[in-house]
Amino acid sequence: AQKITQTQPGMFVQEKEAVTLDCTYDTSDQSYGLFWYKQPSSGEMIFLIYQGSYDEQNATEGRYSLNFQKARKSANLVISASQLGDSAMYFCAMREVSYNFNKFYFGSGTKLNVKP
C-alpha cells in the first residue's frame, strides 16, 4: 500500500485565492512526522511546514497551514492568498523512525499553477 497519497496531479488557482493540496498517509506508528516541500522549476526542494503526530494544534508557517486530521490520516496543505511565485510542484512526505534511521516517504506530488 502507498504510504503517502496525493490525488491531485495538477491544480489551478487564481492569484490571491486560497488553495488546498490533499495528502493522505498510511502508518501504524504512533510517532511520526508530516512534511510539505515545494519544488520550483529549478529543482531545489524547499521545506515548507512540519506537523508532528502528537501535535494537537495545526501547524502554520506564514501563508502555509497544515490541516491535520489524525483520525482520517490526512495532512492537507492550505496556501492562503496565492502568489504567482507559488507555482511549483508540492510534495507531501511522512517520516517514520526505524531503529537508528529516519525513513521518509514521499507522495507523487501536485503541480500547482497560479493564474494572474
Partner 1 sequence: SQTIHQWPATLVQPVGSPLSLECTVEGTSNPNLYWYRQAAGRGLQLLFYSVGIGQISSEVPQNLSASRPQDRQFILSSKKLLLSDSGFYLCAWTRLLGSSLGYTFGSGTRLTVV
- Residue 7 lies near partner 1 (rule: CB under 8 A): no
Amino acid at 73: K
Minimum distance, C-beta of residue 16 to partner 1, in the bound complex (Å): 27
- Residue 62 lies near partner 1 (rule: CB under 8 A): no
Q: Do residues 106 and 46 make contact, with C-beta atoms less than 8 angstroms apart?
A: no
- Residue 93 lies near partner 1 (rule: CB under 8 A): yes
Report the distance separating Cα 53 and Cα 33, nearest Å: 6
Compute the 3-state secondary structure of the chain and give helix, strand, coil in percent, each to the nearest 5. Answer: 5, 55, 45
Q: Report residue 71 as a C-alpha cell.
A: 483520525
- Residue 75 lies near partner 1 (rule: CB under 8 A): no
Query: Which residues contribute to the site for partner 1 (CB under 8 A)?
Result: 31, 33, 35, 37, 43-45, 47, 50, 52, 91, 93, 95, 97, 100-104, 106-109, 111
